[in-house]
Structure 1
């Protein structure tokens, strides 16, 4: 009998692994719909969908190992990061999916709301929040739309022999800002940005990527806290915000 491994579990979603099968149970049925459609459309390696019966989605495990883990230095080679950059560029250059994502005004409103919560609850020094809010403003410009993954965490990209063999967790895919994907992947791995961009292409806007490091860390913090995760763990979102604030002084 195979053991059941709980990968992640909170009030919105649970992901279980049994052998080579992942079972995702989500209270929002649209997430599974988006995930299945996005994996069908994305021109990059994605997991195989085994079956779907609301609210559950079963997908096959992908080979290889994750590019890294937030809060820990990535042990993947520069060649693996370049391969990740090339794969992401292929995604961003693909035809847009037939559904929209948040626009800059929506993102700005969300950012202001989350900064207000962070200030009210004093989870970080006010000057760190204010400095990062200023940095994040550079991301809030009219962006050219790309096919984006939307939650391209380092643990969602799998590589084997310096090749990308799978990208998982597509429930946030949409039309959006390509720089946000690049920022999410390098969050806490800032020293690997140039390796990534050597595969992606030199037209990436590094200033906007850095702005998205601040923006994503600010907007994710409350959700992480309320769902039992720790953004103050070493190398995670609060460390990113502190580092960005120091650099801005």
Structure 2
């Protein structure tokens, strides 16, 4: 009998591994609906959907290793990062999915609320929060919607040498700003941005990417704290804000 490995678990969902099968348990079936629909539409490699019986989604194993991990230098080659850029560009140029992501106005409201919470709880010095909030404003501009992954953490992109073998965790996918994906995959490895853009294309505004680094980090901290994550881990959100500010 295979052992059961807890890959990730928090108050909203959990991912378990049993042999080569990954079981995602999520009480919000709307998120699972989005994940399955996005994987069917995405023009990039994804995990195979083996079966679905609410609240469980069973996925097959993806070959390769993550492009990087939190708190450790990425050992992936320049070619692997370039391949990731090519894959994400292909996604962003694909036909739009039929549902929208969060609006600019919603993100602006979230930024206000989360900065207020950070200040009220003394999580970071007020000056650092305000500097990053000013940087985040660059991301809050009109954008042409693309097919956005929505949670393109570096550990969600799997590679084998110089080939992308799978992109995981599509529950936040929808129409949105492509620069959010670019910022997400390079959030904890900003030194690999040039390698990624060598495949994606360098026709990007780096101030916008830096703005998304700040906005994503500022708005994620409360959720991470409430779900038991260490936001002060090396390379985590607090490190990003200190680096950005």
- Map Cα deviations across residues 66-120 of structure 1 (whole Å, 9 max, x no partner): 0011221101011000000000000000000000111111100011111111111
Q: Where does the alignment leave 5 or more consecutive residues of structure 2 unmatched?
A: none
1:124 and 1:27 mapped to 2: Cα distance? 33
Equivalent position of 1:164 in the other structure: 164
Q: Is residue 43–residue 94 contact of structure 2 (8 Å, CA) maintained in 1?
A: yes
What TM-score does the superposition give when structure 1 sets the normalisation length? 0.97
Q: Is residue 151–residue 173 contact of structure 1 (8 Å, CA) maintained in 2?
A: yes
RMSD: 0.6
Equivalent position of 2:191 in the other structure: 191
SS of residue matched to 1:147: strand
Q: Is residue 70–residue 187 contact of structure 1 (8 Å, CA) maintained in 2?
A: no
Equivalent position of 1:6 in the other structure: 6
Equivalent position of 1:97 in the other structure: 97
- Map Cα deviations across residues 206-230 of structure 1 (whole Å, 9 max, x no partner): 1101110000000110110100101
How far apart are residue 188 of structure 1 and its match? Answer: 1.6
Matches within 5 A, 1:43-54: 43-54=43-54
SS of residue matched to 2:6: strand
1:2 and 1:53 mapped to 2: Cα distance? 21
Equivalent position of 1:66 in the other structure: 66
1:110 and 1:72 mapped to 2: Cα distance? 29
SS of residue matched to 2:165: strand
Q: Is residue 62–residue 158 contact of structure 1 (8 Å, CA) maintained in 2?
A: yes
Equivalent position of 1:120 in the other structure: 120
Equivalent position of 2:142 in the other structure: 142
Matches within 5 A, 1:176-215: 176-215=176-215
2:23 and 2:8 mapped to 1: Cα distance? 11
Q: Is residue 23–residue 57 contact of structure 2 (8 Å, CA) maintained in 1?
A: yes
Q: Is residue 138–residue 211 contact of structure 1 (8 Å, CA) maintained in 2?
A: yes
Equivalent position of 2:235 in the other structure: 235
Q: Is residue 158–residue 166 contact of structure 2 (8 Å, CA) maintained in 1?
A: yes
Q: Is residue 66–residue 154 contact of structure 2 (8 Å, CA) maintained in 1?
A: yes
Query: Which consecutive aligned stretches of 4+ in structure 1 deviate over 4 angstroms post-superposition?
Result: none
- Map Cα deviations across residues 6-44 of structure 1 (whole Å, 9 max, x no partner): 011111001000011000011111010000000000000
2:118 and 2:27 mapped to 1: Cα distance? 26
Matched, 1:21 2:16: no
What TM-score does the superposition give when structure 2 sets the normalisation length? 0.99
How far apart are residue 161 of structure 1 and its match? Answer: 2.0
2:39 and 2:164 mapped to 1: Cα distance? 15
